């Protein structure tokens, strides 16, 4: 599933081709996404000019004066900048067509994404209860420490809770916890303020590095697959179970927490 750095890379990839462009048509070939694409999406968005392309958590927000198009890539979705006349691929479900002759084409094999329309100022249940952005000043050690008091849940599950902080997915939670020396199964309420400060710093570092590296894939959004790559060559633990720890040489172990794979070092993480 695309995580926050991949969604932010997508935003940066499509924004230059979308902002300031007038939408002439929304072509929906398959309404059957996670939530049905509204039948009136083309009439709502058609004729509107995109004023900004924003990201909130893993959602992309295409702002216009008449409302906002909310897009989620789901588990397998991608966006490409194309001509509307380019050959359709299997699972090309939606085109957002612009007056300049280009379009954003949405491909989603598993159809678990969404395209929804929000009226100006309309709160949406998908966005209402989200925690702070992990790269914002609102996400800091003191905040995370206070939210964790009395929590018995493993720190990894706590860190991946979108009501606590958005966008810290499985890959980056594994990496940040390793860099912080915190075992993923440790109870969130039993971690000190000092360790939370270090954890927040490492979350920001890991996400920033992934976003920076993702910038090298921006060219893929024009005539390519629109799928930004993960920074796999920099991973310390994720996907490396059974291999030696890069810090101490111990064999990395794997466990399941909340139905997600956790990889960790028993020597470095406590």
10-41 pLDDT, tens digit each? 999 899 999 999 999 999 999 999 999 999 99
Alpha carbon of residue 109 to chain centroid: 18
Whole-number pLDDT of residue 221: 55
233-257 pLDDT, tens digit each? 578 999 999 999 999 999 999 999 9
Is pLDDT of 94 > 70?
A: yes
Active site residues: 2-3, 58, 260
The secondary structure of 85-147, three-state, reads CCCCCCCEEEEEEECCCCEEEEECCCCCCEEEEECCCCCCHHHHCCCCCCCCCCCCHHHHHHH
Asked if residues 3 and 169 have their Cβ atoms less than 8 Å apart, the reply is yes
Q: Any binding-site annotation on 22?
A: no
Is pLDDT of 231 > 80?
A: no
Say which residue, 200 or 217, is predicted with more confidence.
200
Is pLDDT of 140 > 50?
A: yes
Whole-number pLDDT of residue 25: 96
The residues, ordered by sequence, that sit 6+ positions from 92 with a Cβ below 8 Å of its Cβ are: 29, 105, 106, 107
Q: Any binding-site annotation on 91?
A: yes
Q: Is 191 exposed, middle or buried (0-12, 13-18, 19+ CB in 10 A)?
A: buried
99-108 pLDDT, tens digit each? 999 999 999 9
Report the SS3 class of residue 214: helix
Sheet with 92-98: list strands edge to edge. 23-28, 92-98, 103-107, 78-82
Confidence of residue 216 (pLDDT cuts 50, 70, 90): very low
Whole-number pLDDT of residue 218: 43
Q: How far apart are CA 251 and CA 73, in angstroms?
A: 35
Q: How far apart are CA 81 and CA 101, in angstroms?
A: 11
Is pLDDT of 228 > 80?
A: no
Question: End-to-end distance of the chain based on CA atoms, in angstroms?
Answer: 28
Confidence of residue 224 (pLDDT cuts 50, 70, 90): low
Phi/psi for 130 (5° steps) reads -75, 145
- Reported pTM: 0.89
In 3D, which of 44, 73, 49, 57 has the Cα closest to residue 160? 57
Domains in the chain, please, with CATH?
4-128 (3.20.190.10), 141-264 (1.10.8.50)
9's enclosing H/E stretch is: helix 4-18
Is pLDDT of 220 > 70?
A: no
Kindly report which listed range (46-55, 136-145, 194-203, 225-234) carries the lowest average pLDDT score: 225-234
């Amino acid at each position: 599933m695309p995580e926050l750095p991949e969604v932010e890379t997508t935003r940066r990839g499509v924004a230059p081709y979308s902002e300031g462009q007038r939408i002439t048509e929304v072509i929906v070939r398959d309404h059957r996404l996670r939530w049905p694409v509204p039948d009136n999406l083309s009439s709502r968005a058609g004729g509107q000019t995109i004023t900004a392309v924003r990201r909130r958590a893993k959602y992309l927000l295409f702002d216009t004066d008449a409302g906002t198009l909310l897009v989620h890539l789901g588990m397998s979705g991608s966006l490409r900048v194309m001509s509307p006349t380019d050959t359709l691929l299997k699972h090309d479900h939606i085109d957002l067509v612009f007056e300049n002759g280009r379009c954003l084409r949405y491909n989603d094999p598993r159809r678990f994404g969404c395209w929804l329309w929000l009226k100006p100022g309309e709160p949406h249940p998908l966005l209402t209860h989200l925690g702070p952005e992990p790269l914002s000043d609102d996400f800091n050690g003191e905040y995370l420490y206070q939210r964790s008091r009395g929590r018995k849940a493993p720190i990894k599950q706590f860190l991946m809770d979108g009501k606590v902080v958005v966008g810290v997915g499985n890959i980056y939670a594994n990496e940040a916890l390793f860099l912080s020396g915190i075992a993923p199964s440790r109870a969130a309420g039993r971690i000190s303020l000092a360790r939370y400060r270090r954890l927040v710093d490492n979350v920001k570092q890991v996400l920033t590095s992934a976003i920076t590296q993702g910038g090298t894939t921006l060219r893929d959004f024009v005539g390519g697959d629109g799928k930004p790559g993960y920074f796999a060559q920099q991973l310390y633990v994720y996907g490396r179970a059974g291999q030696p720890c890069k810090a101490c040489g111990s064999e990395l172990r794997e466990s399941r927490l909340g139905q997600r794979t956790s990889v960790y070092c028993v020597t470095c993480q406590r």
